[in-house]
Structure 1
């Protein structure tokens, strides 16, 4: 029997989720969610507060033992949260290398990762001396030094000011283009999703209610016809309407 399109997609995917369900008490947060993510694909996940975005990311990251359904994810993955979660009693280089063997090779790789995020000069400083943007760049270096097949980003720029967010978007694009992991970005920011992702999906009542390829030419401008049209479509799906700023 010939393999159908759905089966072929699943076989080729880095992430395969089928019938993923998560219930907290009597509240159904994820209700039979299905999703495939291809190798190197950047997917942004939007949804209202409480829609299950972070719950699904935690399921992919094996951080929730009570999730139901079928999940296939790569063993090599890394997660970056809104809080950089740096160890304050360890210097920056050690934070990047945390959880890896401590030897000359891994320290050199960690230093290279810091150079990629333009923080090589901060290798020997304490995390408390870093700005918010710098701390998040260290968190990205810590994730990417592991060369993950899947990079999970849970609103990593949500606590940063607008100018720092713009700089971080450019840096993330550069890093993803170099390392080519599959990426799932959870965000409230519609513009951020369109600027960065290959595909944007909207989570509503625990299931995917919209999935759209981002057919906006790079470099992406917020005033392009394609950007404006997709933004309007996503905001409508989110029930926001075409507001000037929707995060």
Structure 2
């Protein structure tokens, strides 16, 4: 695999991610098949697909968590990943979880406290992970990602384990963080409505290939009862092989 990590603050011509001819196999089964795609700096892209379509594998490649692939991948140096499981260290308080892997300087601590304030968790800086609700734990995971000032934010179904009301609040929080910091974002999700609500562009993976790649041309605020929202939902569900009555 040719993996090039950008040292500059941005990619040429505003491109945050460049992927060309990406292939991945598990034993003899192809998972990603000659995949080529680009993400622009500051673009929010949602990645949909059935289970086993290669979504999470692709995200792991962009995060340099899976290098056993063929092809060319160019990504920014500053990347952060948020998973469905917040992956907090239970023996560390929240502030130390947010700064884990970073130099423990006064400046880093101050940045971490600002990140916790952005996700409305500054009052939990000294709390232990076991005392947090599911939504609070995922907000801490977002703070841990954002304190690294990522040029590329990778989200692997980060709200899949949350209840419906908490998911709505997390959508609003993620949208606010995105508008404030403007990273390129790749959100892997099974939720079609989530993808339409948040993304500027939606990609559908089918058997490791891109079967649909389209912008979301719906002006905010995007309401689920809006006709354009419903029409796009129907198109995406059809692409995913889901029939709606």
What's the TM-score once normalised by structure 2's chain length? 0.94
What's 1:101 paired with? 103
- Unaligned 5+ runs, structure 1: 1-8
1:132 paired to 2:134 = yes
- Once residues 12 and 171 of structure 1 are traced to their aligned partners in structure 2, the CA distance between those partners, rounded to angstroms, is 25
State the Cα deviation string for residues 88-129 of structure 1 (Å, max 9, x = none). 000000001111110111111100100000000000000010
Stretches of structure 2 that go unaligned for 5 or more consecutive residues are 1-10
Q: Specify the SS of the correspondent of 2:76.
A: coil
What is the aligned counterpart of 1:164 among 163, 166, 185? 166
Cα deviation, 1:48-93, whole Å, max 9, x if unaligned, reads 0000000000000001120110000001000000000000000000
Contact 1:10 1:16 in 2 (8 A): no
Identify the residue that residue 116 of structure 2 maps to in structure 1. Answer: 114
Q: In the TM superposition, what are the counterparts of 1:1-247 in structure 2 within 5 Å? A: 11-242=13-244
Secondary structure at 1:73 match in 2: strand
SS in 1 for 2:143: helix
Give the Cα–Cα distance (whole angstroms) in 1 for the partners of residues 161 and 69 of structure 2.
Answer: 28
> How far off is 1:217 after superposition?
1.2
Secondary structure in structure 1 of the residue aligned to 2:115 = helix
Moved segments of 4+, more than 6 Å:
none
| Count of aligned pairs | 235
TM-score, normalising length: structure 1: 0.93
Q: Deviations over 1:120-140 (max 9, x none)?
A: 000000001000000000000
Distance in 2 between residues matched to 1:117 and 1:224, nearest whole Å: 29
CA contact (8 A) 1:15 1:36 kept: yes
CA separation of 1:200 and 1:10: change in aligned 2, threshold 3 A: farther
Cα distance in 1 between the residues matched to 2:197 and 2:16: 22
Deviation at 1:242, TM superposition (A): 2.5
- How far residue 12 of structure 1 moved from its aligned partner, in angstroms, is 3.1
Aligned-pair Cα RMSD in Å: 1.1
2:6 aligned residue: none
Between the aligned partners of 2:217 and 2:22, the Cα distance in structure 1 is 28
Matched position secondary structure for 2:86 = coil
* CA distance, structure 1, for counterparts of residue 174 and residue 194 of structure 2: 11
1:10: how far off? 7.0
